[in-house]
Structures are given as structure tokens and as C-alpha cells.
């Protein structure tokens, strides 16, 4: 069962991200809702579902003060998941590859809850990318700082960690199928 805490997280996620758009267009909140739904569909608990709603809040909406707010409202476990799913909390952001390597290290050292939220996030990102690639062609890769090759490298590294940390998750196999299709879609 979800409690009032989940509703509070929905409201906070909306307030923090209401003016933010996704790279391909559309309101950013749609991504957060989808990631949270994926967690709930996989049997995740309320803390994981809340962290999924807030997983980009620190990076995109205020850094450490936002993390302190999340800790105060939702507790240490949610804050720890969000912190581990944060690539950078400073402006300007460090170089792309440095951020990705640090993210992979946090993921490797994190808990299964961190891996579940990360997996739901990256699964949604990858499926959205694949849809855009099918509809718009190879130019979609230009939206990504890592370009095609580095972005695919990052997904392959993520998959290796997810397989190790979440060996029973069917979502890992689903992500692998999407990544294979991303790799084999003509450029």
C-alpha cells in the first residue's frame, strides 16, 4: 500500500520539475511517473517508488539543499537512493565521461534498491531513445553528449552491473534487448 508519503513525493516532484522538458520534448514529469510506475510494477516498496519520483531532483533542481529536503521529508533510505542515482550535484557539471564513471561506481557499491531505481530510469530512457531513433533516425544521437558510441558503452556497463546486482530481474533482460536493438539500428 502506498501512503500519504507517496502523494507528498508526487507533489514535490511536480513542483520541482514542472517547467522542465525531456530532451525529445514533453513534460519531464512523465519520465518520473513512468520510472516510479516501473518500480511499483516490479514489486518495489514505497521508499523505492518515492526515490524513483525524485531520482533527478538533486541533479536537476537544486543540488545538496534539495537532497536535504528529501531527507527531511522522506527519510535516510530515500535520500540515499536519490544520492546514489545522482550523477552530479554541481554547476557546471563535470565532463560527461567522468560523470558516467562516477555513476557506475556508485551503482556498483549501492544497494539492490539503488540498482532497481537506476534500472527503471535507464530502461525508460533507453526505450524512449529507441522510439525516437525509429521515428526520427540517427540524428537523434546528436542530442546526447556521449554520442552513439559512448552512450552505448554506458548502457553496456550498466547492464553488467544490473546482471550482477539484480540477477533475478526480468527488467534486466528487457533492457538488454533494447540495447541490442539500439546497437543494431542503422545509423
As a dihedral over the C-alpha atoms of residue 66, residue 16, residue 36, residue 123, rounded to 10 degrees, the angle is -90
CA atoms within 13 A on the CB side of 184: 6
Residue 17 has a pLDDT of 94
Cα–Cα distance between 62 and 44 in angstroms, integer?
Answer: 27
8 Å CB contact between 16 and 57: yes
β-bridge partners, 27: 21
8 Å CB contact between 5 and 50: yes
Residue 164 has a pLDDT of 96
- Give Cα 47 distance to the centre of its chain: 15
Question: In the chain, which stretches have pLDDT less than 70?
Answer: none
Q: Which residues of 36-59 are buried (b: 16+ CB within 10 A; e: fewer)?
A: bebbbeeebebbbbbbbbbbbbbb
Give the C-alpha distances (Å, rounded to integers) separating 100 from 103, 104, 155. Answer: 5, 6, 10
β-bridge partners, 21: 27
35: cell is 520510472
pLDDT tens for 84-123 read: 999 888 888 899 999 999 999 999 999 999 999 999 999 9
What the chain holds in terms of domains, given with CATH numbers, is 4-184 (1.10.3210.10)
Single pTM value for the model: 0.94
106: cell is 556508485
Please count the other Cβ atoms lying within 10 Å of the Cβ belonging to residue 10.
19
Amino acid at each position: 500500500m502506498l501512503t500519504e508519503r507517496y502523494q507528498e513525493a508526487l507533489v514535490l516532484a511536480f513542483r520541482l520539475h514542472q517547467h522542465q522538458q525531456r530532451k525529445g520534448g514533453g513534460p519531464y514529469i512523465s519520465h518520473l511517473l513512468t520510472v516510479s510506475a516501473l518500480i511499483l510494477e516490479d514489486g518495489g516498496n514505497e521508499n523505492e517508488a518515492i526515490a524513483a519520483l525524485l531520482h533527478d531532483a538533486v541533479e536537476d533542481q537544486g543540488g545538496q539543499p534539495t537532497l536535504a529536503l528529501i531527507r527531511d521529508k522522506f527519510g535516510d533510505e530515500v535520500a540515499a537512493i536519490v544520492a546514489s542515482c545522482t550523477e552530479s550535484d554541481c554547476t557546471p557539471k563535470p565532463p560527461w565521461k567522468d560523470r558516467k564513471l562516477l555513476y557506475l561506481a556508485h551503482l556498483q557499491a549501492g544497494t539492490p534498491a539503488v540498482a532497481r531505481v537506476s534500472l527503471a530510469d535507464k530502461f525508460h530512457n533507453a526505450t524512449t531513445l529507441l522510439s525516437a531513433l525509429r521515428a526520427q533516425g540517427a540524428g537523434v544521437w546528436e542530442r546526447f553528449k556521449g554520442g552513439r558510441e559512448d552512450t552505448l558503452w554506458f548502457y553496456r556497463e550498466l547492464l553488467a552491473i544490473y546482471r550482477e546486482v539484480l540477477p533475478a530481474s526480468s527488467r534486466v533482460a528487457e533492457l538488454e534487448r533494447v540495447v541490442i536493438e539500439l546497437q543494431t539500428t542503422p545509423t
